[in-house]
Amino acid sequence: GAGVSQTPSNKVTEKGKYVELRCDPISGHTALYWYRQSLGQGPEFLIYFQGTGAADDSGLPNDRFFAVRPEGSVSTLKIQRTERGDSAVYLCASSFGPPLRENLDEQFFGPGTRLTVL
Amino acid sequence: AQSVTQLGSHVSVSEGALVLLRCNYSSSVPPYLFWYVQYPNQGLQLLLKYTTGATLVKGINGFEAEFKKSETSFHLTKPSAHMSDAAEYFCALWGDSSYKLIFGSGTRLLVRP
């Protein structure tokens, strides 16, 4: 079956522009996560969706970043007024169920979108 | 506060040699620990995980890791390296009431022929 897919694979934009990054999770997965991976670093959590709602957005760096998941499947990460410091690989992951201590489902990661802000 | 530290951003071994990638953690609650591998232009793939129970965990591709609470460590090992093991490896922690995985900065494994 298909894994997590992300589009585009690469995005180059100019400082100040708006970008949207898309994530298609594995079919049937209710939990969806966004992470950001800067050069030479591990992924850093941005936001977690359970169904359509953002259960935890504590990792979003500021109000230029926003994410939606209107139908509980596909998610879009939106970045307004991009800055050079936003350049990174944005990773999406999904899991079958919510992250519960008594039953922690594996997170499956997509290949990422490499965002370059010039 | 929770954190993960991976010692050595690069590790180089000869093909057939022992692989040892180090991971230390800090957590105020019993941690769940993970090792992921990332090949170029591919997503992170779970190698193995420790939640509860047996402290020696076996994963895919011949890798294993041992949870040592007294040393706050979860080092990844493989008895004999293959060329195909060359990749970046990430240790990750999940432990408190939040929903996020906390990753280390990664170790790039180079395998020399």
The amino acid at residue B13 is V
In this predicted model, what pLDDT tens digit does every residue of A61-112 receive, in sequence order?
999 999 999 999 999 999 999 999 999 999 999 999 888 777 788 899 999 9
Tokens found for residue B81: 């390296």
- Using DSSP's 3-state secondary structure scheme, residue B72 falls into coil
Are the C-beta atoms of A79 and A60 separated by less than 8 Å?
A: no
Single-letter code of the amino acid located at B25: Y
Q: In the A/B pair of chains, how many CB contacts fall below 8 A?
A: 62
Cβ distance of A43 and B101 shorter than 8 Å: yes
Arithmetic mean of pLDDT, B47-71: 94
What is the per-residue pLDDT for A103? 75
- Take residue B98 and report the two structure tokens written for it: 């939040």
- Is residue A1 pLDDT above 60, yes or no? no
Q: Which residues in B lie closer than 8 A to residue A111 (C-beta atoms)?
A: 41-43
With CA atoms as reference, the chain B residue closest to A37 would be B105
Q: CA-to-CA distance for B89 and B73, rounded, in angstroms?
A: 15
Mean pLDDT value of segment A26-40: 94
Percent of chain A exceeding pLDDT 90 equals 86
According to the model, what pLDDT value does residue B66 have? 96
- Taking an 8 Å cut-off on Cβ atoms, the answer to whether A91 and B43 are in contact is yes
Residue B53's pLDDT band, with cuts at 50, 70 and 90, is confident
pLDDT at B62 (0 to 100) = 96
Residue B95: the pLDDT is 66
* A54, closest residue in chain B (CA to CA): B99
Alpha carbons B106 and B36: distance in angstroms, whole number:
9
pLDDT digits (tens, 9 = 90+) for B88-99: 999 999 866 667
How far away is chain A from the Cα of B47, in angstroms, using its nearest Cα? Answer: 11
Which pLDDT value is given to residue B1?
Answer: 80
Q: Kindly report, residue by residue over B7-22, the tens digit of the pLDDT.
A: 999 999 999 999 999 9
Judged by CB atoms closer than 8 Å, whether chains meet at A99 and B99 is answered as yes
Rounded Cα gap, residues A36 and B70, in angstroms: 32
Per-position DSSP letters for A9-28, written without gaps between them: SEEEE-TT--EEEEEEPPTT
